[in-house]
Amino acid sequence: MRAQAGTIPTPMERFARQIILPQLGEEGQRRLQEAWVLVAGCGALGSHTAAALLRAGVGKLVLVDRDLLEESNLPRVAAFTTADIGRPKAEALAARLRKVWPEAELEAYVAHLGPGEAEELIPEVDLVVDGLDNLETRYLINEVCVKHKVPWVYTAVLATYGMTMPILPGEGPCLRCLFPNPPPPGALPTCASAGILGPVPQALAAWQAATVIGLLVGSDQIRPGELLYLDLWTRQVNTIQVERASACPTCVKGEFEALAKPSRATTLCGDAVQILPREKGILDLAALRERLARLGKAELSRGVLLAEVEGVSLTVFPDGRALIKGTKDPARAQALYDRYVAR
């Protein structure tokens, strides 16, 4: 990616109000314009972060998301409208952002950010930002970033609160220092079970974007491992300095468990479980639709298959990936996938 990138022909006048800040100046603005940032997840948190970064002058964004936009997403996401419902989030966000800054270099990937994708994309960027809705993928990003010494910003939101922490490999703690023991899939609450206050993702995205800007321009005000906790409802703001764990399996011992043993089942926010195919390949969605139509509703829409079987709904993508809604049990979701899709 970066090897093919050139200078974006955008006049500095667009960012004049930001350039006059002594913390940035013209040199800082040029650094923002030349940096590559990967946005992992383009839902509520990721879309607001991406929009804030683009408007601040980060003109090279890699947008990665595996899901389609649903009506229930609209109260929280940036840029999207009802016309985007059913469209891949990454593609819809890229299209909207291009209208803000047509010269920006935007790459959209409609894919699960698994070990292969993470190893391919993350070493090519300058920084990764968190727009995810599950801890399993965050552990993976943490491992790849530590392995390749790529800075990233961990950010998570739930209910009325959120937290964020810059992670600079080699300079401070990593995510595994903060959360030493990975919970089993489905053990943590999601926005579907705990709810989410609409402005929370936007507030944490603003903080995350400001952290990214500071890191890209070389600010000495960003402290690795400084965890910010913000509750919009109670007006509570706390900061905690997370220390590097002396026996951290990731950033101290160099053990990359998520890379070595990836799970095919991932519990997502919104009462959905994602199942990955055992092997890469293109699925014949038309043939699958014909087969599933004998059991219930099945139709092709915008390049994906939508089906209903055994009281659950399936969204199947051409690469064999599927989102299964109607069950919170990863084991049952895996069984349904193997029964109806992986044949």
pLDDT digits (tens, 9 = 90+) for 161-190: 999 999 999 999 999 999 998 776 555 677
The pLDDT of 225-239, averaged and rounded, is 97
Residue pair 122/227 in contact by the 8 Å Cβ criterion:
no
Task: Assign 230 a pLDDT band (cuts: 50, 70, 90).
Answer: very high
User: Burial letters for 6-17: b for 16+ Cβ neighbours within 10 Å, e otherwise?
Assistant: eeeeeeeeebee
User: Which two tokens mark 261?
Assistant: 């043993």
- Does residue 76 contact residue 42 with C-beta atoms inside 8 Å? no
Q: What residue type is assigned to position 305 of the chain?
A: L
Residue 7: the pLDDT is 54
* Confidence label for 66 from pLDDT (cuts 50, 70 and 90): confident
Q: Which residue has the higher pLDDT, 240 or 6?
A: 240
The DSSP secondary structure of 194-222, one letter per residue, reads H-B-THHHHHHHHHHHHHHHHHHHT-TTP
Cα–Cα distances (Å) from 297 to 308, 309, 328, in that order, read 5, 8, 21
Q: Which domains does the chain have, with CATH numbers?
A: 2-258 (3.40.50.720), 271-340 (3.30.310.10)
pLDDT 10s digits, 240-287: 999 999 999 999 999 999 898 777 888 887 678 999 887 778 889 999
> Is residue 145 scored above 90 in pLDDT?
yes
- Which residues have CB under 8 Å from 260's CB, separation 6+? none
List, for residues 122-138, the tens digit of each pLDDT value. 999 999 999 998 888 99
pTM for this prediction: 0.84
Question: What would the pLDDT profile of 324-336 be if each residue is shown by its tens digit?
Answer: 998 888 878 888 8
**C-beta of residue 26 within 8 angstroms of C-beta of residue 150:** no
Q: Would you state the pLDDT for residue 8?
A: 57
Which residues, other chains included, contact 153 with Cβ-Cβ below 8 Å and sequence gap of 6+?
127, 128, 129, 130, 164, 165, 166, 167, 208, 211, 212, 215
Quote the CA–CA distance of 282 and 59 in Å, as a whole number.
32
How many percent of the chain have pLDDT more than 90? 69
Q: How far apart are CA 56 and CA 45, in angstroms?
A: 17
Say what the pLDDT of residue 170 is: 94
Q: What are the helix (H) ranges across the chain?
A: 16-19, 25-34, 44-56, 89-100, 115-121, 135-148, 175-178, 191-194, 199-217, 257-260, 285-292, 330-340
Are 244 and 307 in contact by the 8 Å Cβ rule? The answer is no
Output the pLDDT for position 279.
77
Q: Which of these ranges, 3-17, 63-77, 284-298, has the smallest mean pLDDT? A: 3-17
Segment 230-244 mean pLDDT = 97
Token pair in block for residue 326: 């109607």
